[in-house]
Structure 1
């Protein structure tokens, strides 16, 4: 029931009004509602009396909305549409629970997507929605259940670590054959490098990489700069230069022979990918199963690292 100063308006009266306003006909409204024209007219009359305003103007062979009627019609339609969407979502959730994951495009493309079919086989009744963000992760005002994001050392003190940041140069076999050997920092600084625009994130860049490894420093300009890691990797595969490879993301490309990992120049930091339960106060079987599955995948990989 909707309470007004002058009384109580029933949801049924609002439904009758919406139907009559949509058809601009009491007769057609009665037909849709399987009622009578007089019953529809009575509902409208009662509603107008409660509001103290006319909602329809009676014209020859029909009715038209007054200004007040038009305002109420738009409001009621929005309200019914919201209720219908909510009921549909609740019904869908009951039949097929959904869990929403937020991560960056690189992790989604190179780690999550190749493994997701395994989750779907185990839990075919759970719908998984993947949302990606190129910039710093932001799940405010978004329907996010789980976030897999690159975290600095401080953030990793409070969330599970999936794998730490371990990087090493990667290039195509043909590029290595043409420019190799590439086992020293000085030589690496002299060849075309592919850079990633980290957009305020804490991913490692070439300047910091050279500094942390204690080299002479990298003062040059990268051959190409990308704001998308998958494009950078494609450029490396195409032999356009040396990119930075993150262990855990490029492993399958190295195993498949598409890239060569120069792991003698590997560097490990205290950063890495963390697994975040964005809304821990909201419990549900779908989210719990997804979190457990992600952690089990990582545990299996740590126990049996790629050869």
Structure 2
């Protein structure tokens, strides 16, 4: 740090900023609860240390020199940066935050409908949701909690289970009237099917594995509409464009409202499911613990059996 930088104390720069903003030593003194002569002395001392005139004294006031204007811009930017940092630090202290990583489907159909209850219970905790539709790597992101679709090995390693993968065909009531009844795999295989791709290595069930696990057969893949986003698939199912695969825990509200119909006789349950992962076990905190306990409490006990 140079001698000049050390000489320009924060207090002298604050006095300079006020005087430059008002273009008046008197107004600056009033704002700073000082006197006009004290402000004038501070400015004169700063100019002497810098070796530059910062103000031109004019009739009934002052105006900035070219050097004064350049310093004024820099000082304002510097003080603004400091103020923003202080506000952010104080906000963080007052409002701890928790970052959650999950997929679009879970965020839209499970987490978001329930989150208002958490915010009512913990209004001081800020929740930030990070979503991705591919394989979720929580180790590479700045997140505290990950709610991810886990295979058997992950769940066996002690990852808390929210609910098992429990799937069944879903469609709109109008679609079922047109194409139904759909009571077996043969009639299901002949209907237009809506498919969620797993082209990024996701481990959830798709139609081929569904048919193979239920009946040991592969159906003819000749009537599919494919999506890489479960929200779009659900909208297509509601619009009567085909039969999608519904996951218990995600589509429950739409079944209850009558927007969708579940073909529960064709249900399939796998040992996989959504798990809750502490992405930063070495960074405990009351906010993170509160959210983890709340998420586990929201998951129905019967779905974790």
Q: Which runs of 5+ in 2 are unaligned?
A: none
Q: Partner residue of 2:103?
A: 104
Task: Indicate the SS of the match to 1:62.
Answer: strand
Corresponding position: 1:27 with 2:29: no
Q: Which runs of 5+ in 1 are unaligned?
A: none
Q: Deviations over 1:196-247 (max 9, x none)?
A: 3557361443344445553224432523x44442332233233221011112
In structure 2, relative to structure 1, the CA distance for the partners of 1:140 and 1:68 (3 Å cut) is farther
> What TM-score does the superposition give when structure 2 sets the normalisation length?
0.78
Q: Give, in whole Å, the separation in 2 of the partners of 1:84 and 1:143.
A: 25
Q: Give, in whole Å, the separation in 1 of the partners of 2:76 and 2:284.
A: 33
Q: Deviations over 1:165-195 (max 9, x none)?
A: 3322111233223323434444323211223
Q: Give, in whole Å, the separation in 2 of the partners of 1:149 and 1:55.
A: 63
Contact 2:104–2:132 (CA under 8 A) maintained in structure 1:
yes
Which range moved further: 235-244 or 144-153? 144-153
Name which of 207, 216, 220 aligns with 2:222: 220
Q: Partner residue of 2:249?
A: 248
Calculate the aligned-residue CA RMSD, in Å. 3.5
> Number of paired residues?
298
Q: Deviations over 1:16-63 (max 9, x none)?
A: 23223333443332232222333223333433444x453624263422
Contact 1:21–1:65 (CA under 8 A) maintained in structure 2:
no
Q: Partner residue of 2:62?
A: 62
The offset of 1:158, in angstroms, is 6.4
Contact 2:164–2:303 (CA under 8 A) maintained in structure 1:
no
Q: Give, in whole Å, the separation in 1 of the partners of 2:29 and 2:222.
A: 78
Q: Partner residue of 1:194?
A: 194
Q: Deviations over 1:49-86 (max 9, x none)?
A: 44x4536242634222535752x444433333333234
Q: Which runs of 4+ in 1 moved over 6 A?
A: 138-143
Contact 1:99–1:126 (CA under 8 A) maintained in structure 2:
no
Q: Give, in whole Å, the separation in 1 of the partners of 2:261 and 2:107.
A: 22
Give the structure with the higher percent helix. 2
Q: Give, in whole Å, the separation in 2 of the partners of 1:236 and 1:140.
A: 35
Corresponding position: 1:280 with 2:278: no
